Every structure is written in C-alpha cells, then in structure tokens.
Amino acid sequence: MAAAQYLPDAEFAPAPAGARIRVATLLSIVAGLLASAAAVVLIWRDPHAPRPMIAVVGIPPAAMFLYWRAARIRRYRLVGNELLVERAFRTVRFPLDSLLSVTPDREAMRRARKVYGNDGLGAISGRFRSKRLGSFRAYLTDAEHAVVLRWPDRCLVISPHQHSFFVATVCKRAGLSR
C-alpha cells in the first residue's frame, strides 16, 4: 500500500521463551554435557589415549552454544512494506504486499509436524505442516503468543511479545481491516 511508505519503522521483541523451548534447550544442554563428561571419563581411563584429546571434548558443547545463539530470534521489524525476522546471522524478509490476514492464534503449532528446521533449541523455526494451516514457515519463541500471517501462496507463524499491538500495526501497514 502506498500509505505504508509514510509509516515509521516498528520493532517488536520476540515473546519470552515458552515451555517447549525452555525444555528442549535444557534437555539438549544436559545431553551434551553428559556426553562430554562420559567422553572425558573414557579418554581418562584409557592409558593409551593421548591426553590432549580431552580438549576436543569441549567442541560439542561449544558448537551447541553457537547453534543456540544463531537459532534465537532477535527481533521482528516492520520496515517500509516488509516484515523482517532478524536472527544472529540471517534476516528473513516477507513483503506485506497481498497479505490476506493477521491473526493471533495460540493453537497454531498444535499438531504441526516439522518438515525441516529447529524444533526448540533457542527457537522454533523452519518449515512445518499441519492440517489446519497447511504448509507454513515458523519463526517463534512461544506458541502461546503465536500470530499467523496469511498470503495467497504462503503462511507464516511468528511470536512477537506484544502480539495485539503487532497485529494492529501490521493491519494498518498492510491496509487490512482488523
């Protein structure tokens, strides 16, 4: 819409991490640390194992930490007529042209199957499929704050912290009635 050019940019923090993300992150950290501790014990018990190998055991937890940092959603931004989902190393753009609807939906992730992506370590992101929404992309931190954006050819689920204000702002920017 032409009016969207005159609206100031808006920034929205992601919702605080929901239970699904907190549990998945905690279980991943515990599993990674237990595996590393077991490897240290096995290396230490083997008299023929070179002692510098113990330093290599620190690589998986460091890799998990980096993955967690990269997976987290930093913010959602409305710039011009686009929605930007900002992550540590990547920004995903969604033009608001031809947006059909924006609705809060706490049940958006219910019975959704992951096709590809991350299902809880730092965020829920990637491609998913459900009977209700069909094929969709998700970039969220808490399913309780989910907002579904629909275009004629795609669907997106995100979770801004102030989801009611986000919905009103996107509707205004895209020229939709609420």
Locate the domains of the chain by residue range: 12-178
Closest CA to 175 of 2, 12, 10: 2
> What's the confidence (pLDDT) of residue 128?
97
Each residue's pLDDT tens digit, 138-147: 999 999 999 9
CB within 8 Å of 152: residues ≥ 6 apart: 98, 100
Each residue's pLDDT tens digit, 46-69: 888 777 777 778 888 888 888 888
Tell me what percent of the residues of the chain surpass a pLDDT of 70.
96
CB within 8 Å of 85: residues ≥ 6 apart: 73, 76, 91, 92, 94, 139, 158
End-to-end CA distance of the chain: 16
Give the mean pLDDT of 102-122: 92
pLDDT confidence of 1, banded at 50, 70, 90?
very low
Phi, psi of 170 (to 5 degrees): -65, -40
- Beta-bridged to residue 130, according to DSSP, are 134
> What's the confidence (pLDDT) of residue 4?
44
> What's the confidence (pLDDT) of residue 57?
80
pTM of the predicted structure, to 2 decimals? 0.84
In whole numbers, what is the pLDDT of the chain averaged over residues?
A: 89
> What's the confidence (pLDDT) of residue 52?
76
